[in-house]
Every structure is written in structure tokens, then in C-alpha cells.
A and B are shown apart, each in its own frame.
Chain A
């Protein structure tokens, strides 16, 4: 079962430039473990050493920040839309 994950521009160098990649898993945690096996380095961009989502990254499930659901333990299923939204400072 594949769930599509939207990759923001700054992380696309880890996904061969792809804006959207498929991953498998039943929780956010599993999804990113699976992503890491396909695109090494992506997990540490999103999670810190304690396994928490980094404080300057939002992982959203169908438009909702997973922090306000169950964090990394949030369950996901087929058809869900996962988006990674990083803090961006640029403006000029």
C-alpha cells in the first residue's frame, strides 16, 4: 500500500528532484522509515535524535499538522496526503 508524500523544494535534492514520492507504512514513523530506505538522509531532516519532528518542520496529514494528532505515531492509510512543510526564511 503506497501513500504519497509531498517533498518541499529544499529536500528534493534527496529525492532526485521528485516533488512527490511514494512510501509504505501504517504510521508517520513507519512511513518515514520506509522513505529513508529509499532516499537516505531524509529522516534526519525531518526528525531529531529523539525521534520527534523537528521544531522548524511541519508534517501534515490531509492539511492537519500531525503534532496535533498523534505526532510520529499518527496512523496513516491509503489515499492520505502527507506534506512536509519546512520553515522558509527567504523573502528577497
Chain B
């Protein structure tokens, strides 16, 4: 006759040493060399688990024990939700040759009830898994990379030509927090290239219009808006808390403020600029590479720069450059690939040619070459591009 569940459990309880959550807690606090094993299912584990617990679902115990529990002589405490499944798990582990295995009585439920600390792992929910499925299948991103993207905070300076494609793709890629700085309103002439905006939003704030498009594409991200012109007074506050800055502004005074703030706060500055059929992209990130001032210590005087009257850009060009900026952002967050640090990539659309220029840090750079921050400079706003 088959043994009833109760009889079996009774037998297991007499054979398997049980330990209370309080005793587990004191062993952990005392930094005892003990391995905590969570034998619950994935969805239970993702709701929260004991600090440092190894996740080894009971259904995979026999298959994964060898790789996850490499030392069979180690002290092991297994737990489940209520303390029953872990008894069966310990029974199996003992049969597999693990000598010092115990089960936590009352499981995670009692652990939590009694007020002991637990970690909630950073994982994706089912909706995220579907949305980012094509990311999850590439090793360079995967679930861990997608979580990094989700936790990342990226600030786009300008919601115009470069900011549109950059922010659009960053939102699609799942950057958790996207900041947008722009004080302008959508103008009909923007629509030839600024793809975040729409014909019926002419006259609206660019930030508000951009937010609608970005959340329409990906409602799971957080979009923060700064409807102001960047100055030496507000820049510290605007950039603080961001991991990466995407510079897509349209004037020299702002570019220098952005550079100087990035140097001051140690934030990588993904830089893109465009003129007619030509674009430039690089990543300024001292001390890994130069800052903007290492290349160009000062902005040109008004008479040396093309004036706004000469402004004009092939509408598709900012798409190329803004998307290259977005790719660098993703690479920085994932820590993958060779960044455009110390390299200026130039693109000539008419020739269909990319060229590369080696960039060096200027040891005499007043901004990234010294520990004393010289302060911000509000250069005269003049109409130049």
C-alpha cells in the first residue's frame, strides 16, 4: 500500500533537521558559511527571496544541483514557501550525496511574517519579456542587460532633429527613465525631420509632444520633462541623477555648458551634430577619452561660424546621427563593444562615406585636465550652427 503524504512528511520531519527562520537569520548575521537555497518556482522567487539565496527550483533539483551546488560538503539550508517542499528537496539532496542539508521551517512565508529582510530580484515581468524578446535572445543584452536598460537614466538635450530619433529608439529599447530638455514649441518646419512630433501638435511644447509619442511607443518607461533653456544656473540640477547625456542641441553655448557639466559630474556625453549633409558623432568621457574642450577649447566667434540664415539640413541626416548616438548609449549601459570614446565619426551623406578621426585628451584642458572645476561659462547666445 502506498504511503500517505502525511505519513511520508512525518517520516521526513523525523529524518531531516529543520531550522527556524530566526536561527537562519542569526547564522546569516554571524556570516556563517552557509548556502541558502530557494527551491520555489520562478514566479515565487521573483516576488522576493532571502538575501543571497541560490535559486534552484525543486523541479530542476536533480538537473541543476551539480552546477549550482558545487560543494557537497557545504552547509546548506533549503527553503520553500511554507516549509514542505523544502523537506522533499532536502530529502533528494541527501540522496544525491549532500551531507549537511537542513530545511527552514515555515519557509519564506514565516521568514517574511517575522520581519526578516528579503531581496526582490530585478527581473522583467511577462509583458517585458514579450516586448523585449528580440533583445533577450542576444547574449550581449539578455535579461540582465535588459534590466540594466530599465534601470538606466538617460537625458536627451533637445527634442529636435537628433533628440527625436535618439529618444525614440531609446524608448523602444526600454531605457527606464528618459529625460527631455527643450523649451521650444513644435513648428511646422520641424516636421521635415523631428519625427517625435506630429502635424496636429504644431504650437505644442516639444517636450509634451515628444512624451506623447514616446509613451505611445512604450508606455512602460518614465519620461521626465524639463521645459527650460539650459543655463549655468539650472544645469547642475537638470543633469544630476542621470547616467548618460545625449547632446542633440543646436547651439554652441549649450554644447559647452553640457560638456562642462558632464566633466564636472563624470557623466558620459554622447555627442552628435549635423550640418546640411554632414554629421559628427563621438562620446566624450574623461578620463577614458577627451572632452569637447580638449577638441575645441572655445566656441567660434559669431563671424566664424555659419549663421542661422545658412542653416539647413537634409531631413534624414539627423536620423542617421541620432540613431548612432542611441547605439552608443545602449553600449555604454550594457558595457559592450568599442565605444566612440576618443574617436570622432564623421558622415558625409552625399558621398555616403564615414570617416574616423582619432581624438586625444588635451593634458592642458582647463576642464577635464584639472581637479579644480573652473566654473560654467554662459557664452553669448548668437545665431550660429
B-binding residues in A (CB < 8 A): 8-10, 19, 45, 54-58, 60, 63-65, 68, 83, 85-92
Which chain A residue has the least Cβ–Cβ distance from B313? A90
Knowing A63-B358, A83-B357, the reply to whether A88 touches B275 (Cβ < 8 A) is yes
Knowing A9-B276, A90-B275, the reply to whether A60 touches B357 (Cβ < 8 A) is yes
The answer to whether B161 and A92 have CB atoms under 8 Å apart is: yes
Q: How many A-B residue pairs have CB under 8 A?
A: 103
Does B304 interact with chain A (Cβ within 8 Å)?
A: yes
Number of interface residues of B (CB under 8 A): 48
Which chain A residue has the least Cβ–Cβ distance from B292? A87
The answer to whether A91 and B274 have CB atoms under 8 Å apart is: yes
The answer to whether B296 and A89 have CB atoms under 8 Å apart is: no
The answer to whether B295 and A87 have CB atoms under 8 Å apart is: yes
The answer to whether A9 and B277 have CB atoms under 8 Å apart is: yes
The answer to whether A65 and B250 have CB atoms under 8 Å apart is: no
* Interface-lining segment among B18-26, B75-83, B344-352: B344-352
Does B249 interact with chain A (Cβ within 8 Å)?
A: yes
A-binding residues in B (CB < 8 A): 158, 160-163, 190, 194, 247-252, 255, 272-278, 280, 295-300, 304-306, 310-311, 313, 318, 344, 346, 348, 350-351, 355-360, 384-385
Which chain A residue has the least Cβ–Cβ distance from B293? A55
29 contacts between A and B (CB under 8 A): A8-B278, A10-B275, A54-B304, A56-B299, A56-B300, A57-B296, A58-B296, A60-B357, A60-B358, A63-B357, A65-B295, A65-B360, A85-B280, A85-B344, A87-B300, A88-B275, A88-B385, A89-B250, A89-B251, A89-B252, A89-B384, A90-B311, A91-B160, A91-B162, A91-B163, A91-B247, A91-B318, A92-B160, A92-B161
